[in-house]
Amino acid sequence: MKNINGFLPLNLEEALLILKHSYKNGRKVRIVAGGTDVMARGNGNQSFFLDSVLDISALKEIQEIKTCEDKIKIGAGCTHAQIAKSILLKNHASILTKASSVIGSPQIRHRGTIGGNICNASPVGDILPSLYVLNAVLTLASASQKREVPIKEFIKGPGRTIIQPDELLTEITVDMLGENEFTDYRRSATRKALAISKSSVAFRGIKKEGVLVGVKIALGSVGPVIISAHNCEKLIEGKKIDEEMLAQIPSAVQADCKPIDDLRSTKEYRSHVVGVFLAEILRSC
């Protein structure tokens, strides 16, 4: 059997030094936080764990949720359960608590982390559309430097990101919503729990003098990455919500979507449901 090194750093500095030395010596490291996805994917496939496993679950520095001026900073090690229960997020970024509350099962939510969900870069990731409409910026740290990257630039395709082998995602910074801002998240899945999304919609906007402004829409499970629905945004921005406008939603969604057929659903169903969800959200504004 292949020998695999295991590391359990007790602080962030130690974790980054391990990554630095492993990278310098040509050793590939698999990073584990909650391990809910890694363990499933690595089951029966020892080579999946590469040369070393770095368990970052003990890093308290990346497990906090706090404010900074008009932003909220979420540690990459925060679990979905922690996010779903956060009073700060419920009051100022409730779309994240809603999205986190439907991920997996209670057991998964208490182990899985927001950082793991982001780094998996799956187009079906439940929390990703909400992060897109909240203008999430990711902090990537190495032993020598830190850099900040918008989430839209971080994810390049299914399972592909720009993170470097000696870097760790440490923090996610999102907008703190204003008093008049409205957000919502809806998804379609085979079951209410323990199911992967077939399609999803995250919405953000401000209702002002009878119209919606500052509209941001992100679509999940209808493309190789989360899609910013610019055609839908242009249709809705500055417009009154009426039946004439709502009737144009399906065609605008079709222009934004790039769904595929797979075992879980069809491309026609995915684009149709996204349109239905968006119309429902607009009617509830």
Q: What is the DSSP string of 132-164?
A: HHTT-EEEEE-SS-EEEEEHHHHEEETTEE---
- Cα 79 to Cα 108: distance, rounded to the nearest angstrom: 9
The mean pLDDT of 204-225, rounded to a whole number, is 94
Name the more confident of 1 and 174: 174
**At 89, is the pLDDT very low, low, confident or very high (cuts 50, 70, 90)?**
very high
| pLDDT for 1 beyond 50 | no
Summary mean pLDDT of the chain: 92
The mean pLDDT of 266-281, rounded to a whole number, is 93
The mean pLDDT of 98-107, rounded to a whole number, is 93
| pLDDT for 176 beyond 50 | yes
**At 39, is the pLDDT very low, low, confident or very high (cuts 50, 70, 90)?**
low
53: which 2 tokens?
């496993």
- Cα 86 to Cα 64: distance, rounded to the nearest angstrom: 10
| pLDDT for 200 beyond 90 | yes
Classify residue 246 as left (phi > 0), alpha (psi -120 to 50) or beta.
Answer: alpha
Percent of the chain with pLDDT strictly greater than 90: 79
Instruction: Select from 186, 184, 170 the least CA-distant residue to 16.
Output: 170
Classify residue 8 as left (phi > 0), alpha (psi -120 to 50) or beta.
Answer: beta
| pLDDT for 193 beyond 80 | no
| pLDDT for 5 beyond 50 | yes
Name the more confident of 260 and 157: 157
- Cα 245 to Cα 121: distance, rounded to the nearest angstrom: 33
| pLDDT for 4 beyond 70 | yes
| pLDDT for 44 beyond 60 | no
| pLDDT for 97 beyond 50 | yes
User: In the prediction, which pLDDT does 48 show?
Assistant: 66
43: which 2 tokens?
């089951």
Least confident of 36-45, 127-136, 177-186, 246-255: 36-45
